[in-house]
Amino acid sequence: MEARSRMKHARSLSVLVLAAVIAGVWVSRAEPEPAQTASVFFAPSGKDRRIHKALEELLGEATKTVDIAMYQFTSPQLGDLVKKTARKAKVRLLIDSDQVKGSYSQDKGMRAKDNIEVRYVRLPGEGAEREKFHNKFCVVDGQVVATGSFNWTVLADEKNYENLLVLRDAKIAQEYAAEFDRVWNDDKVTSK
């Protein structure tokens, strides 16, 4: 009798375990797949300009704000993209003041009347000893950040060994946004 009771209990337990497994599989299939939170891109990519394309896609998603912190910004294609993005979202650009002296810098022609504000970062020191605003990141709608070694130049995509990491993580994006705002609002190092 005791053996029958144990077998009956074991069968009941087996049925419960099987039911739990089936329910777990059903629940896990019912939940949506999590969105990819990170994408990485490497250069050089030659005339394919894979990083340019990734930035074009990212800025195409912007609806409210785009904050760009950049050391060098000489790509005409990305300059045009920023101007196009400014038709639907407010754009702010922080750029190293020494890097805009050449005729290729894309800050020229970007103005507040076009929904683009530009501030120049001038850090202490002179010549080779001058500190550099060496950041390279972009925050879109306070939700997504693109960062890495990539300066927004054609050569950086076509010939240099560079990287761009796109993080779809609001918490991380907010940390970058806070750093952008800290520098943007520091009148000791920024000017219009």
Q: Name the catalytic one among 52, 96, 107, 136.
A: 136
**Encoded tokens for 30:** 């019912």
**Encoded tokens for 118:** 């530009």
φ/ψ of 47, rounded to 5, equals -70, -10
Between CA 37 and CA 47 the distance in angstroms is: 27
User: Is 134 noted as a catalytic residue in this protein?
Assistant: yes
Count Cα atoms within 13 angstroms, Cβ side, for 27: 6
User: Is 47 noted as a catalytic residue in this protein?
Assistant: no
Q: Name the catalytic one among 83, 88, 98, 141.
A: 141
**Encoded tokens for 167:** 């993080």
User: Is 108 noted as a catalytic residue in this protein?
Assistant: no
Query: Where would I find the beta strands (DSSP E) of 27-122?
Result: 38-43, 65-70, 90-96, 116-121
Question: CB within 8 A of 183, min separation 6: which ones?
Answer: 69, 94, 121, 133, 189, 190
Q: Name the catalytic one among 83, 88, 90, 134.
A: 134
User: Known catalytic residues?
Assistant: 134, 136, 141
